[in-house]
């Protein structure tokens, strides 16, 4: 793999940015990687663990001379970051982001950027429930999708270059229109996250079932919900507030369907339940065939020692 | 490990029974293991793969002379199986089951059994999304909980023997009262399963988001739901129909909480969302500390090749 950008600036040093750094280094995709985080503690940690070639004390310093700037902050902070770095962006630089919502980011960021940069929003569909500068790892994006969401009039060469960069970090790349992205993600990510958060909150609330019982017996299904519901609270707050309409629409459909299944349980309509559960099984098969999960029977349990 | 039962009969040869067989063999817990499944195809498969020392063509033959009989069929079939085997049970034998619901099983099975056997309901909290005689593996119960749900007047020696048997298969053993079991499982398993089934069904329904998009981009959270929603439809139909009250109660609490979060999204109440998401994060930490999951950052992804 050869160098694709001479200098990459990562603004915000959490799970995604730190994974990007290790993936860039693995493949030698950048001459230099600079980094900036608002919190001094995060900058100190980054310096201690060798995250970024150079950690800067201001965003302005980090973006100076960079031919790629990637904003890796919660969606709600993107506009402010864009305003802060705008005066210091090099002519011809590409500015991108990794936010989970795209229409709101385009709206918040676009107006701040000068005409002499290429703004190409992006969203890598990868993550874990961990956050912070120490949570990243080089393989996070391997075989995962990164969606590029170009705005009108995007320079084809700049777009192609960013796509090569993400492929170099291990990702598969697709292009998508912003509103469609936000709807697809509401289905595959945002609504499931809110539902998982809700179910974990309900379990935590129930006084007749103690916390220790919920935790001890979590392997029966609840465990997968808790992993999802352990994701970064600030990031997810911003996702729901900025992808409000699509998320509420999907949740409305979800509630309607849930009520129908509850009614089937109440009236003892076993055929309805069986048919529904048979249909959902087929989707799982498709995901395994698409290489987005493993069907190993002891999935995820091998590392749990006795 | 030494032999705990001279002859164990497994009635029903799906995921749990086949895993029990391999776990029994691993530890040498039984002199002989007999097996029976209603479907001839399942019995043929069992014989082909060496599942059970002896596969019988009738349940009566399988239970004859067994000092432990374990009913491993869907909860809705337990009563019928009990009626079928009752005349052939040896005096002093223990009859147990592995059903996910306990009060309904006790009600359905108890009246059929003769006084000269020990009926000790049980529920191993372990499983995968796979089913059938070929889905079992010896380590399924390792470090998982098996809940014993003794009825009034249970023989202490028979109970202790069954507990040693489950520990021999790798499980941790706890005792619990039937109604409390059904409530705890409604929270940790039954409601989460129905919710996952619902969300996967909604995704499948949405025409503006194609199936292939849902599948391609599933790694963003939805993937975990599809694993849960790929579980055996018959088993789960029976669970919901037989643990109706507790499941509907938890789903009612869930809906109430979901509506509150939807309102917070609609009104833009970020503080409410952030506080809620912060609280649910703590539960995850407890599950990892309890050894019921791993916090490896690339959880479950190592086996997914490019």
Chain segment A9-46, per-residue pLDDT in tens: 999 999 999 999 999 999 999 999 999 999 999 999 99
Q: Is the pLDDT of residue A289 over 50?
A: yes
Average pLDDT over residues B234-255: 96
Q: Closest by alpha carbon to B197, among A185, A219, A278, A280?
A: A280
Domains of chain B: 5-176 (3.40.50.720), 180-289 (1.10.3660.10)
Q: What is the DSSP letter of B189?
A: I
- Contact (Cβ atoms closer than 8 angstroms) between residue A78 and residue A71: yes
User: What is the least distance, in Å, from the CA of B88 to any CA of chain A?
Assistant: 31
Nearest Cα to Cα of residue B4 among B174, B162, B175, B170? B162
d(CA B223, CA A293): 8
d(CA B270, CA B64) in angstroms, rounded, equals 64
| Helix H or strand E segment including B106 | helix B103-109
Closest CA to A16 of A133, A96, A163, A102: A133
In this complex, which of B126, B135, B284 lies closest to A226 when CB atoms are compared?
B284
Residue A172 phi/psi, 5-degree rounding, is -90, 145
Report the mean per-residue pLDDT for chain A: 92
Q: Is the pLDDT of residue A298 over 50?
A: no
B58 CB-near residues (< 8 Å, 6+ apart) = B36
pLDDT at residue B249 is higher than 60: yes
Contact yes or no for A57/A43 (Cβ under 8 A): yes
Cβ B89 vs Cβ B63: under 8 Å: yes
Nearest by Cα to B264 from A232, A200, A248: A248
In the predicted structure, residue B299 carries a pLDDT above the cut 80? no
Mutate to test the interface with B, among A187, A228, A290, A300 (most CBs of B within 10 A): A187
CB A85 within 8 A of CB A11: yes
| pLDDT reported for residue B238 | 97
The strand pairing partners of B33, in sequence order, are: B8
Tell which B residues from 25 to 64 touch A, by Cβ distance under 8 Å. Answer: none
Lowest-confidence region among A283-287, A300-304, B140-144, B198-202: A300-304
Which residues of chain A does B304 touch, with a Cβ-Cβ cutoff of 8 Å? 143, 291-294
List B residues 81-120 in contact with A (Cβ-Cβ < 8 A): 100
- Judged by CB atoms closer than 8 Å, whether chains meet at A284 and B229 is answered as yes
Two structure tokens written together for A268: 């003892």
Burial B105-120 (b: 16+ CB within 10 A, else e): bbebbeebbeeebbbb
Contact present, B20 and B70 (Cβ < 8 Å): yes
Task: For residue B60, give Cα distances in angstroms to A11, B5, B37, B115.
Answer: 70, 18, 11, 18
Specify whether the CB–CB gap between A8 and A68 falls below 8 A: yes
Give residues 234 to 293 of B whose Cβ lies within 8 Å of A. 234, 236-238, 240-241, 244, 247-248, 250-251, 253-255, 257-258, 261-262, 265-266, 268, 270, 273-274, 276-281, 283-287, 290-293
Examine the pLDDT at A274 and tell me if it is beyond 90. Answer: yes
Q: Report the distance separating Cα A50 and Cα B284, nearest Å.
A: 29
d(CA B146, CA A274): 27
Is the CB of B145 inside 8 Å of chain A's CB atoms?
yes
Task: Identify the DSSP state of A218.
Answer: G
Given an 8 Å threshold on Cβ–Cβ distance, is B145 in contact with A219? yes
Residues belonging to chain A: 306
**B204 interfaces chain A, CB cutoff of 8 Å:** yes
- What is the band of A304 on the pLDDT scale with cuts at 50, 70, 90? very low
Residue B297: pLDDT band with limits 50, 70, 90: very low
Lowest mean pLDDT among A216-220, A224-228, B75-79, B97-101: A216-220
> At residue A74, does pLDDT exceed 70?
yes
Q: Write the CB contacts of B148 (distance below 8 Å, at least 6 apart in sequence).
A: B120, B121, B122, B159, B162, B163, B166, B173, B174, B175, B176
Least Cα separation, residue A114 to chain B (angstroms): 30
Query: Between B220 and A143, whose confidence is greater?
Result: A143
Q: Name the 3-class secondary structure at A39.
A: coil
Q: Which of B297, B299, B305 to mutate: most A Cβ within 10 Å?
A: B297
Phi, psi of B289 (to 5 degrees): -65, -30
Q: Residue B24: name the closest of B64, B52, B56 by CA.
A: B52
Walk across the sheet containing A68-71 and list its strands: A54-55, A30-36, A5-11, A68-71, A94-97, A118-119
Contacts of A144 (CB under 8 A, 6+ apart): A124, A125, A126, A170, A171, A172, B219
């Amino acid at each position: 793999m050869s160098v694709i950008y001479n200098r990459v600036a990562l603004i915000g040093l959490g799970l995604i940015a730190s994974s990007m750094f290790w993936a860039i280094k693995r493949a030698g995709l950048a001459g230099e990687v600079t980094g900036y985080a608002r919190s001094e503690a995060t900058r100190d940690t980054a310096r201690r663990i060798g995250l970024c070639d150079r950690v800067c004390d201001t965003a302005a310093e980090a973006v100076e001379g960079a031919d790629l700037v990637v904003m890796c902050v919660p969606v709600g902070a993107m506009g402010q970051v864009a305003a802060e770095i705008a005066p210091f962006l090099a002519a011809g630089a590409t500015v991108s982001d990794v936010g989970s919502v795209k229409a709101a980011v385009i709206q918040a960021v676009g107006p701040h950027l000068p005409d002499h940069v290429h703004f190409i929003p992006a969203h890598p569909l990868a993550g874990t429930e961990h956050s912070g500068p120490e949570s990243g790892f080089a393989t996070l994006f391997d075989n995962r999708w990164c969606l590029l969401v170009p705005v009108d009039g995007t320079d084809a060469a700049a777009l192609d270059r960013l796509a090569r960069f993400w492929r170099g970090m291990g990702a598969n790349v697709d292009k998508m229109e912003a509103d469609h992205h936000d709807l697809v993600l509401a289905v595959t990510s945002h609504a499931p996250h809110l539902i998982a958060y809700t179910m974990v909150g309900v379990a935590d609330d129930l006084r007749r079932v103690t916390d220790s019982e919920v935790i001890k017996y979590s392997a029966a299904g609840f465990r997968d919900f808790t992993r999802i519901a352990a994701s970064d609270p600030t990031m997810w707050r911003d996702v729901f507030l900025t992808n409000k309409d699509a998320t509420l629409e999907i949740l409305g459909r979800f509630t309607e369907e849930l009520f129908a299944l509850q009614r089937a349980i109440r009236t003892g309509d076993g055929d309805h339940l069986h048919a529904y559960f048979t249909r959902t099984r087929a989707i799982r098969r498709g995901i395994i065939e698409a290489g987005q999960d493993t069907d190993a029977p002891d999935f995820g349990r091998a590392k749990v020692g006795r």
